[in-house]
Chains A and B, each alone.
Chain A
Amino acid sequence: MTTSSLPPSVIATLPGGYYTHENIFALEQARIFESMWFCVVRAADLAKPGAFRTVQVGRESVLVTRARDQSIRAFLNVCRHRGARIKTEESGEVRRAFQCPYHAWTYDLEGKLIAAPNLTKMPDIDRVEYGLVNVHVREWLGYVWVCLADEPEPFEEEVQGQVVSRLGDLDSIHNYGIESLEVARRIVYDVKANWKLIIENFMECYHCATIHPELVEVLPEFAEGLATQLYVGHGAEFGEGVEGFTVDGSPGADRIPGVSETQDRRYYGLTVRPLMFINLVPDHVVIHRIFPLAADHTVLECDWLFRADVVRSGRDLEPSIELFHRVNVQDFEACERCQPAMNSRAYARGGVLVPTEHHIAGFHEWVLDRLGTGQLGTGQPT
């Protein structure tokens, strides 16, 4: 282990190859993205039966829709006949059924095969057995999670458990009534960086004073570089004279009714593994859904959610939205700055984590544990 030769102040990161190698990314797809609960869409985006989204979950395209009974369903986006993609659009709406554009195999909104040319002459084709392949679905906080595992871990442990370990309990997040908020803005970021760089960046604040001047004005304790995520139940307090979580410290929108006194004037950031960030402030919530597409390519969909009456009032929310949009751009530029260097000889054995970043080693251990590749080696992954 190289760690034995490191000064005590620092801990090794993953070797650079973990951020570039296709074989590592393929393992992550199989053992992380396709094995865990993965937050994919805002439920309200599937407004009525037949509305759909397609999302990339690991190596699979997943078709998420709302059925006649209003429940959310998700299927592998693959025709059971000859394997054509059922839907290539990112979103849309079907009137009554999903039809493969190749031979017109037709599936209802529950995924059952309901028609196909000559199907009545093949009475031995079971219409459920040859229906679209279902994947597990859960709704929480107004979002839809899917899990491609045959037998998912309990959602309560895998997802909600992470929120509890960060905030202390579930009430603390339910206070924000996220399911009843409305999306005021969605920005999609196309980032040329490995997903782990994006997670690691969100987990630490050592960079905050350098790249996030506006954020540090609002949350002065961020200048110290301590990761607030380390302390259970801790939210970073707004600075004196700061009236709202806005780019210029101006007042934000109306507070969300359920937010408690102890949560007022504070920012809480949560990483929900594998691929979600939740940011809570008194008047809005910012949620990142993260879609790794390649070892060096990640797409993030970021939603700004406010009270429905605030969104409908037409009030100018730009100062609120602009703050985290800038933070996003600053963070993703930093990640894109790192990505090309992951292949450098200088980073073959990785870099180091300073004390305010040591907890990131826990993330690395978690990744390695999921991948089953064992202890962090000294060289490139094979």
Chain B
Amino acid sequence: MIPACPLAALPRGEAFRLDAVEPPIAVFHTDDGELYAVDDTCTHQDASLADGWLEGCEVECPLHASRFDLRTGQVDAPPAKLPVRTHGVVVEEGTVYVVPSGEAA
């Protein structure tokens, strides 16, 4: 479990790029109040999804408009073909933690 940022620093509609891990992970706070974490790097070309546009449970890559479902990591719109990995998110005492996939919570 890796601390990302204070929850207060991640308002709804915003994203946080956690680069303490490799590859980096993006944490999103949706307008509905949900928190999701996926690999930050678009699978099409090297771009940060945290710099992209969050709409509902999808993020759109800022470079070529590939869209990924934050719940599953699946591609909803090309040009990306491969999904991004999803990761767990935990909030404890006001801090957002990321649980990288494959790691027990």
Taking Cβ atoms with an 8 Å cutoff, the residues of A that contact B are 96-97, 99, 104, 106, 114-121
Residues of B within 8 A of A106 (CB): 62-63
Among B41, B47, B52, B53, the one with the most A-chain Cβ atoms within 10 Å of its Cβ is: B47
Q: Is B46 within 8 A of A96, CB to CB?
A: no
Residue of A nearest to B46 (CB): A118
Residues of A within 8 A of B24 (CB): 120
Residue of B nearest to A105 (CB): B63
Residues of B contacting A: mostly: loop
B48 contacts which of A97, A99, A120 (Cβ < 8 Å)? A120
Residues of A within 8 A of B19 (CB): 120
Residue of B nearest to A108 (CB): B62
The 6 closest A-B pairs by CB, nearest first: A115-B62, A115-B51, A104-B63, A118-B46, A120-B48, A117-B45
Residues of A within 8 A of B64 (CB): 104
- Asked whether B87 is an interface residue with its Cβ less than 8 Å from the other chain, the reply is no
Residues of A within 8 A of B52 (CB): 115
| CB of A115 to closest CB in B, whole Å | 4
| CB of B97 to closest CB in A, whole Å | 22
CB-defined A-B contacts under 8 Å, sample of 8: A104-B63, A106-B63, A114-B62, A115-B52, A115-B62, A115-B63, A119-B51, A120-B46
Complex formed: what's the CA distance from A121 to B22 in Å? Answer: 12
Among A114, A119, A120, the one with the most B-chain Cβ atoms within 10 Å of its Cβ is: A120
Taking Cβ atoms with an 8 Å cutoff, the residues of B that contact A are 17, 19, 24, 40-41, 45-48, 51-53, 62-64
Residue of A nearest to B53 (CB): A96
Complex formed: what's the CA distance from A264 to B12 in Å? Answer: 56
Complex formed: what's the CA distance from A99 to B24 in Å? Answer: 24
Q: Is A115 within 8 A of B48, CB to CB?
A: yes
Residues of B within 8 A of A116 (CB): 47, 63
Q: Is A119 within 8 A of B53, CB to CB?
A: no
B51 contacts which of A99, A104, A114, A121 (Cβ < 8 Å)? A114
B46 contacts which of A97, A99, A114, A117 (Cβ < 8 Å)? A117
Q: Is A119 within 8 A of B48, CB to CB?
A: yes
| CB of B78 to closest CB in A, whole Å | 15
Residue of B nearest to A121 (CB): B46
Residue of A nearest to B17 (CB): A120
| CB of A258 to closest CB in B, whole Å | 43
A117 contacts which of B40, B47, B53 (Cβ < 8 Å)? B47
Residues of A within 8 A of B48 (CB): 115, 119-120
Complex formed: what's the CA distance from A115 to B48 in Å? Answer: 7
Complex formed: what's the CA distance from A57 to B44 in Å? Answer: 38
| CB of A94 to closest CB in B, whole Å | 12
Residues of A within 8 A of B45 (CB): 104, 117
Residues of B within 8 A of A97 (CB): 62
Answer whether A115 and B46 are a contact pair too, CB < 8 Å, given A106-B62, A120-B19.
no
Complex formed: what's the CA distance from A262 to B97 in Å? Answer: 73
Complex formed: what's the CA distance from A114 to B63 in Å? Answer: 10
Residue of A nearest to B24 (CB): A120
Q: Is B47 within 8 A of A115, CB to CB?
A: yes
Among A97, A115, A119, the one with the most B-chain Cβ atoms within 10 Å of its Cβ is: A115
Residues of B within 8 A of A118 (CB): 46
Complex formed: what's the CA distance from A120 to B45 in Å? Answer: 12
Complex formed: what's the CA distance from A161 to B41 in Å? Answer: 54
Residue of B nearest to A115 (CB): B62
Q: With A114-B51, A115-B51 given, can you name 8 additional A-B contacts, CB distance below 8 Å? A: A104-B64, A114-B62, A115-B62, A116-B47, A117-B45, A117-B47, A120-B40, A121-B46
Complex formed: what's the CA distance from A181 to B35 in Å? Answer: 48
Residues of A within 8 A of B63 (CB): 99, 104, 106, 115-117
Complex formed: what's the CA distance from A369 to B49 in Å? Answer: 54
Residues of A within 8 A of B47 (CB): 115-117, 119-120
Residue of B nearest to A103 (CB): B63
| CB of B17 to closest CB in A, whole Å | 7
Complex formed: what's the CA distance from A333 to B24 in Å? Answer: 65
| CB of B44 to closest CB in A, whole Å | 10
Complex formed: what's the CA distance from A118 to B62 in Å? Answer: 12
Complex formed: what's the CA distance from A282 to B21 in Å? Answer: 69
